[in-house]
Amino acid sequence: MRERPMDDDALIRQLRAQRSLGVRSPDDEVVRRVLERLPARAQSPVAVVLWTRVGWLAAGLAAAVVVTVWLSSGSPRVPRSISAASVLSAAVGPLTTSTGQVGRGGRVPLDAVVPRGFGQGFSR
Amino acid sequence: MSASDSDLDLASRACDGDRAAFAEIVGRHGTSVFSFLIRRVETVQDAEDMFQATCLRAWMRMEEFDPRRGSLLAWLLVIAGSQARDAARVSRRWRRAASTRGSGAVAEPPPAAAASTAWIWGLVERTLTREQASAVWLRYAEDLTPSQIARVLGRTPVGVRVMLMRALARVRAELAREGRSDLADLESGPDECRGLNGGRS
């Protein structure tokens, strides 16, 4: 006698009926460890904004608008060839060295930004 | 924390940093997430590692859960699926490297669940590929829609439908080959399974 082939409905019924046999639970110890090691979530509004992609986008757009307005207002004198030092200089005013010299030509002497004594104790 | 708290309430509290709410979420859906993961990996240890990574990622990105796009479980499974895909990619690369160094191709090892699940689900694990078995599990054990499964597995809904159709055909063929087609006459499986589907169908 030829067996009647199982149809999809019957098979699906079987799968659903035996779901419990396929269920696997994580070890309690694993769950406990996971919950114990959860890092703190940021609570401050600024941090919450920065958590989300939309927050990052909004913060980036706001920063871009501020910089555009600031540059187009003409108050800072931004040279044609912008170097990092000249942007810094435009933003915070002329930089002086530890000896009182003003950096020239967009070049900022190293000791204007690196504290005196930095690197002492290192040998070549 | 009452049992009647909805997933949405819990997610919202967890979003505010409430660890107890997140623990409740893990208690509620952890088994479903783990049951899915164990079908995607080679060892129980891998599944546990991935489970931890999934929980951590869910906790850190709780605010990305959007109830309009699906249930909390579906969202957790999408995260788990993404973890599993990343791990599978690494594992494939490793196997490819091993097969070029050694002799011949290295076969995909059976999923960690295969050895331990019984009866029809065991047959599903043995007969189908890991991805097919995962799709069948998500569809018929977790009752996810093909669209939700597509998001979890990184496929198209049509691809998932086709995969499910082929998977069922393959299981039916295997049952026929083993001479167990008459199981179709059983309404709810063997005695130990009766009444366990808890209205999920």
Query: Taking the CB of residue A16, how many other CB atoms lie within 10 A of it?
Result: 20
Q: Which residues of B touch A26 (CB under 8 A)?
A: 30-31, 34, 47-48, 51
Q: Under 8 Å CB-to-CB from B144, ≥6 apart: which residues?
A: B74, B77, B138, B152
pLDDT of residue A52: 58
Q: How far is CA B89 from CA B92, B104, B137, B172, in A?
A: 5, 20, 21, 30
- pLDDT of the residue at B194: 38
B103 pLDDT higher than 60: no
Instruction: Give the residue-averaged pLDDT of B113-117.
Output: 53
**Is B8 in a helix, a strand, or coil?**
helix
For residue range A99-123, what is the model confidence (pLDDT) as tens digits? 555 555 545 555 555 566 666 665 5
Which residue in A1, A2, A15, A37 has the most chain B C-beta atoms within 10 A of its own C-beta, making it the best mutation to test that interface? Answer: A15
Interatomic CA distance for residues A98 and A113, integer angstroms? 9
Q: Using 50, 70 and 90 to split pLDDT, how confident is the model at B126? A: confident
Distance CA A31, CA B27 (A): 9
Among candidate residues B47, B26, B41, B52, the one with its CA nearest the CA of residue B133 = B41
Which residues in chain B are contacts of A23 at CB distance < 8 A? 31, 35, 141
Local confidence band at B85 (pLDDT 50, 70, 90 cut-offs) = confident
**Which among B47, B63, B189 has the least Cβ separation from residue A52?**
B63
CA–chain centroid gap for B100, Å, is 31
Higher pLDDT: B109 or A65? It is A65
Q: Is the pLDDT of residue A41 over 50?
A: yes
CA count, 13 A, side-chain hemisphere, B174? 17
A-chain residues near B196 (CB < 8 A): 17-20
Task: Pick B116 or B155 by higher pLDDT.
Answer: B155
